[in-house]
A and B are shown apart, each in its own frame.
Chain A
Amino acid sequence: MDFTFMWETFRQLLTGVPLTLNLAFTSVAFGAVLAMMLALMRMSGIAVIEMIAKAYVFVFRGTPLLVQIFLIYYGLGQFRPTLQELGLWTFFREPYWCAILALTLNTGAYASEIIRGGLQSVPYPQVEAAKAAGMSGFLLFRRIVFPIAVRQALPAYGSEIILMVKATSLASIITMMEVTGLAAKMISQTFRAVEIFVVAGVIYLILNFAITRLIMALEWWLSPHLRRPPSIEPRIEAAHV
């Protein structure tokens, strides 16, 4: 093990971290909106809309992410004249936006199932109680259903975010120079696969560890009712002793 080489590698690979995080968080943010829509479609009770959401989830969970990325980045090139006419070509020409789009569509499918699970886990008596208190519609969703569902879904959503950080490595195949892309380039230049692998692996582990901790902190913050109340020392009046 050559530690000066590994330190140099570490410093070079760190330059890829902002792009990795950028890809992960942008697509997770867009994906969450998409997932929410899909989950609501899935629970809408209208057969056609449910079928559409189901089919979407089936297709995007059943095919490899890399195929989806290629389909968007290379595949849509086949329709270049049409896309140029529509003015969309500047979007689909950029590997960055293609990667974001593919990752978003992909995480949307996975996360919609997580959100659906969260929404379905809301105990019905809570909804009944809210209705009895006169809440309905968006107010009911915002005050009762959503907060409970988020708490239920958060651990699973945390692992989905970790999966997304890992998935951003596929963007390196369409020329995005994030951590894996830089690592692959350095490996093919130096052929010191093991050392570079170790350094890149450490970077991903640090990122994922930090994200896990953040999610845990969020979970803690969102569930004050499960924590033990701060112990208040009962003040004992002298007279009663």
Chain B
Amino acid sequence: MQQLSYFELIGFGPKGWGLALLTATGMTLAVALCGFLAGSIVGTFVAWAKLSRNLAARTLADGYTTVLRGIPDLLVIYLFYFGGSAALGAIGGLFGAQGFIGVPAFVTGALAIGIVSGAYQAEVFRGAYQILNRGELEAARSVGMHRWLMFRRIIAPQVLRYAIPGLGNTWQLVLKESALISVTGLVELLRQSHIAAGSTRRPFDFYITAAILYLVITWVSTYLFQRAETHSLRGLRRTS
């Protein structure tokens, strides 16, 4: 059998894996994005708890971020993957279902990423909130804004502005973490490369392609976050 050239191998021809790899890249982006958004929601609440006057909430939130940043992400993914199925099986058992119920790998993956990145995003949001000018909060209160209105009009826009650099870093982490989801069998970029490498016996070609695709995503998202940062700061006078 004649060896395919590298470009035939990853191209879009009849024997090429191009389409599969692109689809898998889309899957990587989708799971990373969902995880990132889940993490934003978790992070917002954890940051809120950390900033609250309630000692119990603060302790709980501090414990959460300490634990999640101290244990390997892979372990969290295993917990969600195996633990999620076990929990679903137990719930299914109550309704008379029997045997193993698998949780979709996409859901476990996105949730695991969300839980882990939530810990990082909480710190980012907390830091950004602390930069806020206290006077603006007082002003908002004095014109009679209610908590939710104040959050929506005063806090959220400014916190997001200051959080963009930190969120950019977290996004890069999330993106790289999404590669770990491949252990649960979700066909994202790394898993697809693994499959292709196995069936063509050309592992190096496929893993290097995967690495290049990851780099492209990183590069593009760095650019986008920089654009977002300059855009968000357009109304600010800066000392520099």
Contacts and interface: CB of A to CB of B under 8 A. Distances in A.
Nearest to A208: B70
B72 A77 contact: no
The residue among A64, A68, A77, A191 with the most chain B CB atoms within 10 A of its own CB is A64
B74 A172 contact: yes
Given A78-B204, A204-B72, A66 B197 contact: no
B183 interface: yes
Contacts of A77: 203-204
Contacts, number: 119
Contacts of B207: 67, 70-71, 74-75
A205 B66 CA distance: 9
A184 B77 CA distance: 10
Interface stretch (B78-86, B129-137, B141-149, B156-164): B78-86
B97 interface: no
Interface residues of A, number: 41
B82 A166 contact: no
Contact of B82 (A65, A162, A193): A193
A70 B201 CA distance: 14
Chain A binding site: helix, strand, loop or mixed by DSSP?
helix
A63 B214 contact: yes
B179 interface: yes
The residue among A77, A194, A197, A205 with the most chain B CB atoms within 10 A of its own CB is A197
A200 B79 CA distance: 11
Given A75-B207, A169-B74, A204-B72, A197 B182 contact: no
Contacts of A58: 215
B205 A71 contact: no
Given A67-B214, A201-B75, A204-B75, A78 B176 contact: no
Contact of A78 (B86, B205, B210, B218): B205
Contact of A200 (B75, B82, B172, B210): B75
A193 B204 contact: no
Interface of B: 66-67, 70-75, 78-79, 82-83, 86, 172, 175-180, 182-183, 190, 193-194, 197, 201-205, 207-208, 210-211, 214-215, 218-219
Interface of A: 58-59, 62-68, 70-71, 74-79, 162, 166-170, 172-173, 180, 183-184, 187-188, 191-194, 197, 200-201, 204-205, 208-209
Given A66-B179, A71-B204, 16 more contacts: A62-B215, A62-B218, A63-B176, A63-B214, A65-B179, A66-B182, A67-B190, A162-B70, A172-B74, A173-B183, A180-B75, A183-B75, A193-B79, A193-B83, A201-B67, A201-B75
